[in-house]
Structure 1
Amino acid sequence: MRVDHRSLHDFTCRCLLAVGVPSKDAALVADVLTAADLRGVDSHGVARLRRYVDGVRDGKILPDARTTVLAETAATVALDAGHGLGQPASCQAVDMAIAKSVKTGIGMATVRRSNHFGIAGYYALRAARQGLFAIVGTNASPQVAPTHGATPMFGTNPLAVAFPTDADQPFVFDAATSVVPRGKLERLHREGREMRSGWAVDPNGESTTDIPKVVEGLKAREGYALLPLGGPGESHGGHKGYGLATVVELFCGPLAGAHWGRHVYGAEGAGLGHFFLCGQVAALTTLADFQAEANRMFGELRASPKARGHDRILVAGEREHEIERHRLAAGIPLTPAVVTDLVRVAEQCGVAPLGTPVDDIGVGD
């Protein structure tokens, strides 16, 4: 099933409005989810809508929470999301960091007592499209074991970095610090595909490829764990992924005044933390010179010798930009499992089901 992104955005807004989310906040959440689907990050798109709807209905997410300022300087600000949706608080945070960087050269914002905020790259690109560089991160539910460990201690702790290398196609690197996020396993399972060895371990610390057991074990916190970027042990750099996850956790937990590690969700609700660092390229070099050198670098990367069996070298974010252009024109493909779930969400919210899909024109993603 292929749907127009505007129809998907409208449907998402209607579901959120139905459970009491204010219209402006509903639109921001819909923007972030639709952006993920447009860029091919299907694990963080509308497949996550149920998470927010159920969270609001269960009282775990406060739909009308207001983000407040806890502390502020010329270049920094600390915010409290008040157990509300992560996207509105994060948009406010990155916009404040952007405004501060315009005045001082650099700006940073942190958020505490927040919820899932979608794809980190959305916020990094929000800054890059204004001529700034940005670094964005968030902690998450504990799902990843430390190197040589067998118990989830950190979240997948994604990190996004963006640069204004091109007005229409900024550079953006956006990735989890685990080998894979849980959402990818859920997507593979929906599509009837398998996971690889070295992505996750069972309660004994042994590698497993049983997606249902891993996903259910992660949800129930029954000992199953994802592995850090690099996989098991240190031979392929798993300790580096673990180190990166710890860096993100320090920014988003102790520095943000948020919960960390195994404590991010407590009896009082969500305690996730996010951080946003934005800076002026023009404060360090001219934007034109930076863009010229960056694109010269990218040109050399793309033109470098290819490994056998490959005819193309990509720069981070390039594939997502291409998918976005295609899906803007051809529509967003939704798997049968996601469509079925969205039908149920619509029924629970008492809203009209997702509109008629646009024709599948047969162009692959």
Structure 2
Amino acid sequence: MTVTDEKVLTRFTTEALVSAGARRDDAELTAEVLVSADLAGVDSHGVARLRRYVEGLLRGTISGTARPEIVREQGGVTVVDAHNGLGQPALCFALDLAVERAAEHGVSAVAVRRSNHIGIAGWYAERAARAGAFALVTTNATPQVAPTGAAEPMFGTDPVSYAVPTSGEPICYDAATSIVPRGKLERLHREGRPMRAGWAVGPDGESATDIPKVVEGLKAREGYALLPVGGLGEEFGGHKGSGIGLLAELLCGPLTGASWSRHTYGGQGGDLGQFVLCVDLRALGDPAAITGRVGVMADEIRGARRADAEVPVRLPGDRRRRSAAERRAHGIPLLPPVLADLAEIAALTGLEPIGPGPAGTAPVAPAGASA
């Protein structure tokens, strides 16, 4: 396994995107979001996704020159058209706009249409929390999840994230509405680990556990489907997870003017939808008092009697922050399949590949790369 430095990986990701046709400011932001996922231990949404972006830019199915545009405004509600650009710059534009509008109106909502993959939703929610707002962020995705009672995928894995400021670090929840995201299956396969029964079903509606078959079946839309949080049927609450997935689909599809997951990608490129809701804490009271109360609540929860003396009670975001601190100190591990993908990206874009060793190597931009 190769271990690389955060700065090396960020530079490589930035230069790869620039070489593929993205503007440098968009490439830098996208690289920051991707590498933040690797730092946080969410490897399924880190640079393992970079090849998808680079190939899309090179093929022209993702626009490297698009700028998000406000197309509708009324009060604290805004609609943004991403024009099939990279998802990270589009959603960051929407998030910052939502924070600004919430400061003016107390609460705001920003919907994004014609967007692409955004990386980890929690990055955006936490950005809002650090700016003094409560935020909820969600996005749809390609269809991979079978709603309760369905025998085919209709919903995306549709992450829902929320974050709230505290007197310390923000509390930030970020999770897919499927029992497991496809990216985790890919990561388990790279690590040589199995998936569990009840996470996915095959075309026959029975539990499927062969990761390559499930992943390829999902990509090819051959009847394989992941299951919503709670799993198959209603016995363990699968219908509740299905209902939360439907909420994300509504906010990011029909209500937004984007396509819902079953129709997200077509001949015109990406049409993912995203939705941001922000509440400025000043509309609720004194921000210092509110964050103080939230901080006390967080301390009480973490101090609860443990079910297992060796396992701490944690709040959303705790594990990601511990991982980021460790990986900043010791480097980001890159599994061989990810390193192979990065080598292919280097070949496509004319960069020097990230090499083996404790800190990798810094990429060199090819002559004539855009700035």
Q: Same fold (TM over 0.5)?
A: yes
Q: Any conservation in 1 of the 2:167–2:294 contact (CA below 8 Å)?
A: no
Rounded to whole Å, the distance in 2 between the matches of 1:183 and 1:91 is 22
Matched position secondary structure for 2:214: helix
More displaced stretch, 65-74 vs 341-350: 65-74
Q: Any conservation in 2 of the 1:7–1:355 contact (CA below 8 Å)?
A: no
Matches within 5 A, 1:211-222: 211-222=211-222
Are 2:355 and 1:349 aligned?
no
More displaced stretch, 82-91 vs 67-76: 67-76
Matched position secondary structure for 1:275: strand
Greater relative contact order (Cα < 8 A, sep 6+): 2
* 1:268 aligned residue: 268
* 1:319 aligned residue: 319
Q: Any conservation in 1 of the 2:6–2:35 contact (CA below 8 Å)?
A: yes
1:7-36 residue CA offsets vs partner (Å, 9 max, x unmatched)? 111000110111111101111110110111
Rounded to whole Å, the distance in 2 between the matches of 1:113 and 1:314 is 36
Are 2:292 and 1:292 aligned?
yes
- C-alpha deviation, 1:83, in angstroms: 1.0
1:246-286 residue CA offsets vs partner (Å, 9 max, x unmatched)? 00110000111000131111222211000111111121122
* 2:88 aligned residue: 87
* 2:368 aligned residue: none
1:196 aligned partner, one-letter code: R
* 2:201 aligned residue: 201
Matched position secondary structure for 2:186: helix
Q: Any conservation in 1 of the 2:5–2:359 contact (CA below 8 Å)?
A: no
Rounded to whole Å, the distance in 1 between the matches of 2:313 and 2:149 is 33
* 2:108 aligned residue: 107
Task: Check 1:309–1:208 CA distance in 2 against 1; reply closer, same or farther (3 A cut).
Answer: farther
1:76-99 residue CA offsets vs partner (Å, 9 max, x unmatched)? 210111111111111111111111
- C-alpha deviation, 1:310, in angstroms: 4.5
Matched position secondary structure for 1:48: helix
Rounded to whole Å, the distance in 1 between the matches of 2:164 and 2:108 is 15
* 2:369 aligned residue: none
* 1:190 aligned residue: 190
Rounded to whole Å, the distance in 2 between the matches of 1:3 and 1:264 is 35
Instruction: Let me know the Cα RMSD of the aligned residues.
Output: 1.4
Rounded to whole Å, the distance in 1 between the matches of 2:357 and 2:134 is 37
More displaced stretch, 181-190 vs 348-357: 348-357
- C-alpha deviation, 1:245, in angstroms: 0.4
1:178-209 residue CA offsets vs partner (Å, 9 max, x unmatched)? 00110000000001000001100000110011
* 1:28 aligned residue: 29
Matches within 5 A, 1:118-133: 118-133=119-134
Matched position secondary structure for 1:306: coil
Q: Any conservation in 1 of the 2:261–2:272 contact (CA below 8 Å)?
A: no
* 2:246 aligned residue: 246
Rounded to whole Å, the distance in 1 between the matches of 2:261 and 2:75 is 30
User: Structure 2 regions of 5+ residues with no counterpart?
Assistant: 361-371
Matched position secondary structure for 2:255: coil
Matched position secondary structure for 2:55: helix
Rounded to whole Å, the distance in 1 between the matches of 2:89 and 2:300 is 39
Rounded to whole Å, the distance in 2 between the matches of 1:82 and 1:359 is 37
Q: Any conservation in 2 of the 1:124–1:136 contact (CA below 8 Å)?
A: yes
* 1:281 aligned residue: 281
Task: Check 1:38–1:166 CA distance in 2 against 1; reply closer, same or farther (3 A cut).
Answer: farther
2:184 aligned partner, one-letter code: K
* 1:229 aligned residue: 229
Q: Any conservation in 2 of the 1:4–1:357 contact (CA below 8 Å)?
A: no
User: How many residues get paired?
Assistant: 359
- C-alpha deviation, 1:37, in angstroms: 0.8
User: Structure 1 regions of 5+ residues with no counterpart?
Assistant: 361-365
Rounded to whole Å, the distance in 1 between the matches of 2:305 and 2:170 is 24
Q: Any conservation in 2 of the 1:97–1:108 contact (CA below 8 Å)?
A: yes
- C-alpha deviation, 1:357, in angstroms: 4.6
* 2:71 aligned residue: 70
Rounded to whole Å, the distance in 1 between the matches of 2:224 and 2:257 is 28
Q: Any conservation in 1 of the 2:21–2:58 contact (CA below 8 Å)?
A: no
Q: TM-score, normalised by structure 2?
A: 0.94
Are 2:115 and 1:137 aligned?
no
Rounded to whole Å, the distance in 2 between the matches of 1:9 and 1:308 is 38
Task: Check 1:308–1:87 CA distance in 2 against 1; reply closer, same or farther (3 A cut).
Answer: closer
Matched position secondary structure for 1:148: coil
- C-alpha deviation, 1:345, in angstroms: 0.8
* 1:363 aligned residue: none
Q: Percent identity?
A: 53
1:34-56 residue CA offsets vs partner (Å, 9 max, x unmatched)? 11111111000000000001111
Q: TM-score, normalised by structure 1?
A: 0.95
Rounded to whole Å, the distance in 1 between the matches of 2:61 and 2:338 is 23
Are 2:117 and 1:116 aligned?
yes
